[in-house]
Structure 1
Amino acid sequence: MTESNKENKVNVLSVYFDNVTLEEMQGNIKQFFLTSTSRNLFIVTANPEIVDFATENENYRNLINRADYVVPDGTGVVKAARILNTPLKARVPGIELMEECLKIANANQQKVFLLGAEKDVVKTAQQKLTEKYPNIIFDYHHGFFDLSDEMVLKQVTSFDPDYVFVGMGYPRQEQWIERYSNQFNQTVLMGVGGSIEVFSGAKKRAPVIFRKLNIEWIYRLLIDWKRIGRMKSIPKFLFKVAKVKFKK
């Protein structure tokens, strides 16, 4: 990332976020497909867990900062930006951005590849999404493979997708995207975490009241106590933000 690009972004613990709303991202994606280009659009949806990991992993931090867009998928990121006196306009939930992409793909009769989750889960997600978005051509592959597996890459590239949604969790999903992005042509490439599971019905999204109160993470913890180990990254993230604020 060049210094001039950094100036237009919001720095949260050296992860550079785009100060955009969901509606603005929808417009950016529409515009991307109206432009004649061979380049791709790499989108990172970063929550506090991802930012915390990036603070301790320079290679991953540099990788996500090279993306075309890094959007704040998490209330914690928006709050941190406010604490650091560089406020972001809004949270941009990754699953909602994926839904906006699917609406655009359906309107444009485009092709979508789902890469991630378990075999039965991604198959169910594809079936349910086909019912909801009948104008989209879908293909899919599960997320349990070695990142260097050329057969998976061949399946994805030969499909010639307009969108590849990679739901393998960080850092694997972003590593796969960067590793193979040069194999695609005018494609939106986006890490979507557990969104494929949600679309399949295997996982439930938080009820609207939790979303409105910006406490989706509490709902996820209530329904899945195995996440408790991952949740330790949230206080770590907030402590790091407080340290930066204190230094300022």
Structure 2
Amino acid sequence: MIDSKDFVKIMDIPFLNKTKKDALNHYIFPRLNKQQKCFIVTGNPEIVMKTREDPTYKQIVLSADYVIPDGAGILLAAKHIKEPIPERVSGLDVMMDLLSFAEVQGLRCFFLGAKDYVNEKAVLEAERKYPNLKIAGHHHGYFELEDPAIVKKVKDSNPDIIFVALGLPRQEEWISKHIDEFSKGLFMGVGGSFDVLAGNVKRAPDWIIKLNLEWLYRLIKQPYRFKRIIKVFEFIFRFYLKK
């Protein structure tokens, strides 16, 4: 059980108040070792704003075992209420660490989501980076959330880790709908991480990431993300207005 002092509430959403290293070593890896089911949400301002607009989605996020702080806006909000979070915990970085852990521990990973060619390329790149990684299976993200054939395909592959790249809010909705049908597995929504892993989207340089300005880099590189960035500013405005 997570202790109350180990999370910070931002607009009713409890964010894990740990470094990436601590989150992995003391919370996530132990659950994998014990084959305990685990639901991870990579929380950012966009997700928080969605929980304010959609009560059903809010309950889904609140049902997660861990909400990790993947967003500079979350860190700013935590600092403002004098409960600072030590660092941004990127969902992409956690996914890569999980792949590395899976390779060493012999765990099976399933890649669910993204476009067909992106999904296949991401799997090939994962195999290249982690030669001994066990790929349980993979499937693109163009299907109905209730499709039983997809659930059966994932279950039959006997995965230990299921990366779900369906975007917000579909990835969390799919996990919430079907996690009870599994006896084990770490389920994590990873957004556009398959695109980065596949090499279709270039990640920001390390110095930009360290300055928590990756969102700005992505906006410059992908101007069509502007509407999503608006949600970040809306989050900051509403948070500070409330305070």
> Aligning the two structures, in what range does the TM-score lie when normalised by the shorter sequence?
over 0.9
Give the match's secondary structure for 1:232.
Answer: helix
Query: Which amino acid in the other structure matches residue 123 of structure 1?
Result: E
Which region of structure 1 is more displaced relative to structure 2, 221-230 or 5-14?
Answer: 5-14
More deviation, 113-122/47-56: 47-56
Structure 1 runs (4+) deviating above 2 angstroms are: 4-9
CA separation of 1:134/1:179 partners in 2, compared to 1, >3 Å: closer, same or farther? same
CA deviation profile, 1:189-211 (whole Å, cap 9, x unmatched): 00000001111111111111210
Q: Which residue of 1 aligns with 2:55?
A: 58
Corresponding residue number in structure 2 for 1:151: 149
Partner deviation per Cα, 1:89-143 (whole Å, 9 max, x = no partner) = 2210000011111111000111100001100110011011111112222111001
Segments of structure 1 that go 5 or more residues without pairing to the other structure are none
Instruction: After superposition, give the CA deviation of every residue in 1:135-164 in whole Å (9 maximum; x if it has no partner).
Output: 222111001111011111111110010000
Q: Distance in 1 between matches of 2:195 and 2:233?
A: 26
Structure-2 residue corresponding to 1:22: 20
User: Quick check: 1:33 aligned with 2:32?
Assistant: yes
Match of 2:106 among 104, 109, 112: 109
Does residue 91 (structure 1) correspond to residue 88 (structure 2)? The answer is: yes
Tell whether 2:70 aligns with 1:73: yes
RMSD over equivalenced CA pairs, Å: 1.6
- Which of 164, 188, 193 is residue 166 of structure 1 equivalent to? 164
User: How far is 1:56 from its partner?
Assistant: 1.6
* Change beyond 3 A, Cα 1:8–1:212: closer
- Tell me if the contact between 2:109 and 2:162 (Cα under 8 Å) persists in the aligned partners: yes
Q: CA deviation at 1:8?
A: 4.6
Give me the TM-score of the superposition, normalised by structure 2.
Answer: 0.95
1:150 to 1:171, Cα distance in 2 relative to 1, 3 A: same
Identity %: 37
Taking the aligned partners of 1:5 and 1:231, their CA distance within structure 2 comes to: 32
Q: Which residue of 1 aligns with 2:129?
A: 132
SS in 2 for 1:17: strand
Aligned to 2:234, the other structure's residue is in SS state helix
SS of equivalent to 1:190? strand
